[in-house]
Structure 1
Amino acid sequence: MTREVSRTRLNMLRSYAAHDHRDNFQKAEMV
């Protein structure tokens, strides 16, 4: 169970980080 939870958390963090990076990149391009 703990392994599955940690794995899902890692995936969520990765997805969030990717979204943040994309937003930052788009903002930088706009400016």
Structure 2
Amino acid sequence: LFSPGATSLDMFKNYKDRGEQFERIVKKLKD
């Protein structure tokens, strides 16, 4: 469900940006 590899590549500059966005979302969910 929350796999960074399954997100649309158009939403992110590159794989690093995608990973950082993913981390941010996960941290928000934990709070």
TM-score normalized with structure 2 length:
0.57
Q: Unaligned 5+ residue runs, structure 2?
A: 1-12
Structure 1's consecutive aligned runs of 4 or more residues displaced over 4 angstroms after TM superposition are: none
Report the structure, 1 or 2, having the larger helix content: 1
Q: TM-score with structure 1 length normalisation? A: 0.57
Indicate the percent of aligned positions where both proteins have the same amino acid: 5
Count of residues in Structure 1 that have an aligned counterpart in Structure 2: 19
Unaligned stretches of 5+ in structure 1? 1-10
Larger relative contact order (CA 8 Å, sep ≥ 6): 2
Q: RMSD between aligned alpha carbons?
A: 1.2
